[in-house]
Amino acid sequence: MLRYPIILLDYDGTLAETRPAILRSLEEAFRDIGRTPPPRSYLVERLGKGDALQGFYQSIVDEGASLEEAQRYVAAYRQRYAQADEEETYLYDGAHEVLHILQERGYRMIALSNKHGPTLRHSLARFQLETFFEASFGAEEGLPRKPEREVFTQRLSHLLPGWEAGQFLMVGDTTADIQFAQTLGMDVCWASYGHGVAEVCKALKPNYQLDSLWELSTLLSKTER
């Protein structure tokens, strides 16, 4: 029997190394709208929190930023990201193999990311990952995003009626993933190799820790009864 019949998998920093493309695009977008980007070390730290892009921008501009300026930044970032993603993003070792193993063992998998929804779907298709997932949920305007519990109650529950949070396992790399799961009473597996700040994520005491994606199938084997 599967302890966690449904696996929720983050994308950035869990299935794919997107940090180089994200950081490059963040910096280029600052320049595109006439601002000097913050130090890269600061951007790396903020990236580990899984913030929404618009809120991220407004929160780090010292004197604050108007909604219009933040929206220009988001548009510039997305325009830049398409090329950076093509040139610099790669899947973590074992991504196809591990997902295939889990699929063969009867796990139902859903991609659950704070990445812009259309970009997430394009990325899954580009890397030929979409066939492993029953559904994919990215960030959409006006809809809740991790760590908000409404991601589950409003976006996921209708897809899986009758399933309770305790039957899910969230696998992700940032505090947004860990806090989302813990808010719902859902077990969580922290991908330590991803974008999260290690000491902050460890302090939240996730149920499990992965030091490589390859470890996921072994970990789940140990939970099966």
pLDDT tens profile 4-23:
999 999 999 999 999 999 99
Top pLDDT among 54 and 133 is at 133
Q: How far is it, in rounded angstroms, from Cα 90 to Cα 12?
A: 10
Which CATH fold topology does 6-17+90-223 show?
A: Rossmann fold (3.40.50)
Tens of pLDDT, residue by residue over 31-90, are 999 999 989 998 888 877 767 777 778 777 766 678 888 889 999 999 999 999 999 999
Give me the pLDDT at residue 42, please: 87
Q: Domain map of the chain by residue range?
A: 6-17+90-223, 19-88
**Fold for the domain defined by 19-88:** DNA polymerase; domain 1 (1.10.150)
Q: Do domains 6-17+90-223 and 19-88 have the same CATH topology?
A: no
**Predicted confidence (pLDDT) per residue in 145-167, tens digit:** 999 999 999 999 889 888 999 99
| Beta bridge mates, 8 | 110, 170
